[in-house]
Amino acid sequence: MYEDRWRYIRNIGAGGQGSVVLVTDESGSVPGEVALKRLIHADSQERRARFERETKALEALDHPNILKIHHKELQPASGDKPFFVAEYCSGGSLEGRGARSFKDKIAESAAVLAPIVQALEAAHRKEIFHRDCKPANILFRADGTPVLGDFGICHMEDGKFVTLADEGVGSKNFIAPEMESGGTGEVSDVTDAYSLAKVLYWMVSGGRIFARERHKESGNNLASSVERQRFEHLHMFLDKFLKFNPHERSRGGMSDFRRGLQELVMLVEGDFAPLVPDRAIRCRFCGLGTYQRSSNKSGSSVPQAGLSVAAGHYVVAMWCDHCGHIESFNLKASGYREWWNGKNEL
């Protein structure tokens, strides 16, 4: 019996898959307090298989930001239920901490998620995809280190889909659309990137949840005023990963997510103006006015800005309606040309 070795201290939690208790190892092989997760519905072969997947995935992934397994008994003697023993993350989960402390704080949110991105990159290199990235599955050690756990519905690229036929895959508020049908869609790194993008929004928004890809709709848009224009950078970041069709998402998956997250923090912390179509831009000089836009094709002029345009160039300008400060751009080779289409073109 597992009680012969593992001394019960108290309950930690329970879910549909298993119960988790805090224990110590009476044999002394595993020091300190650890978490013992025990399968609840051991009579179900499907649930046994799912529990085994989680255990084997955690064992296969030796990464500082992935939950560490110390011991397992998947075929215990004496009629015991399968269980494994893992490190105890005494800092609780991101869900337990709540999103309120991260509201409007992109740098702080990114600091938590960056190690999780690295953990997922390590998993993806071994062709293991989590598929259920959500606040409840991001845990914290006592020193605050974030750790990714619960690989119970992970997909291992061994030629088999591992989804149970009688239950959905993952949390409906965070999973990618291709997983909503029971996991029969294409599984890849962009699947986990989609979910983690929703976790980032959940944190920065202070706990809001939105359907599908509707992060910019009224009520969800965090850049609802010029004073909050820095959050346009966040929405532009989310646009890369929150696409219904996985083939339209940023194809670099978690690698793109990692680089984009670093860029996002730099843009927000530096208070750089977001070049986006439907939002006024606050003047970088006086901070009181907003920029008005006009553009002109080659060989003409932009009279409001006092600019002449050389042949073969496409110059656009913005001027502040409060202090008159002027910003101009040559869009000859710029990827932002589309932003100016239909905007006061003279």
2-87 has which CATH code? 3.30.200.20
- Does the pTM exceed 0.75? yes
- Pairing assessment for the beta strands 155-156 and 301-302 based on DSSP bridges: unpaired
- pLDDT of 343 over the 60 cut: no
Q: How far is CA 2 from the centre of its chain?
A: 37
pLDDT per residue over 135-145, tens digit each?
999 999 999 99
Query: Which residue intervals of 24-164 are DSSP H helices?
Result: 45-60, 94-97, 106-125
The CA-CA-CA angle for residues 187, 188, 189, to 5°, reads: 145
Query: Which residue intervals of 61-161 are DSSP H helices?
Result: 94-97, 106-125
Instruction: Tell me what the mean pLDDT of segment 236-261 comes to.
Output: 93
Burial class (CB in 10 A: 0-12, 13-18, 19+), 216: middle
pLDDT per residue over 298-333, tens digit each?
445 556 556 666 666 677 778 888 998 888 777 765
Instruction: Tell me what the mean pLDDT of segment 187-202 comes to.
Output: 93
pLDDT per residue over 63-82, tens digit each?
999 999 998 888 777 667 88
Closest by CA position to 98, among listed 204, 203, 174: 203
What is the Cα–Cα distance from 346 to 328, expressed in whole angstroms?
Answer: 15
Percent pLDDT > 90 in the chain is 43
- pLDDT of 164 over the 70 cut: no
Q: Which whole-number Å values give the CA distances from 284 to 243, 266, 274, in the listed order?
A: 32, 16, 11
Arithmetic mean of pLDDT over the chain:
82
Contact 226, 118 (CB under 8 A): no
User: Which parts of 115-242 are beta strand (E)?
Assistant: 128-129, 138-140, 146-148, 155-156
Q: Two tokens at 147?
A: 């750790």
What pLDDT sits at residue 166? 34
- pLDDT of 7 over the 50 cut: yes
Checking phi first, is residue 161 left (phi over 0); if not, alpha (psi -120 to 50) or beta?
beta
User: Which parts of 26-82 are beta strand (E)?
Assistant: 33-39, 69-73
Side-chain half-sphere exposure of 127, counting CA atoms within 13 A: 6
More confident residue, 64 or 282: 64
Locate the domains of the chain by residue range.
2-87, 94-269, 291-340
Q: How far is CA 235 from the centre of its chain?
A: 13
Helix 106-125 and helix 189-204, axial crossing angle in degrees, nearest 10: 160
Q: How confident is the model at residue 345 (pLDDT cuts 50, 70, 90)?
A: very low
Q: Which whole-number Å values give the CA distances from 66 to 100, 103, 149, 212, 341, in the listed order?
A: 25, 25, 6, 27, 47
What pLDDT sits at residue 323? 93
Q: How confident is the model at residue 241 (pLDDT cuts 50, 70, 90)?
A: very high
Architecture of domain 94-269: Orthogonal Bundle (1.10)
What is the Cα–Cα distance from 234 to 160, expressed in whole angstroms?
Answer: 36
- pLDDT of 277 over the 60 cut: no
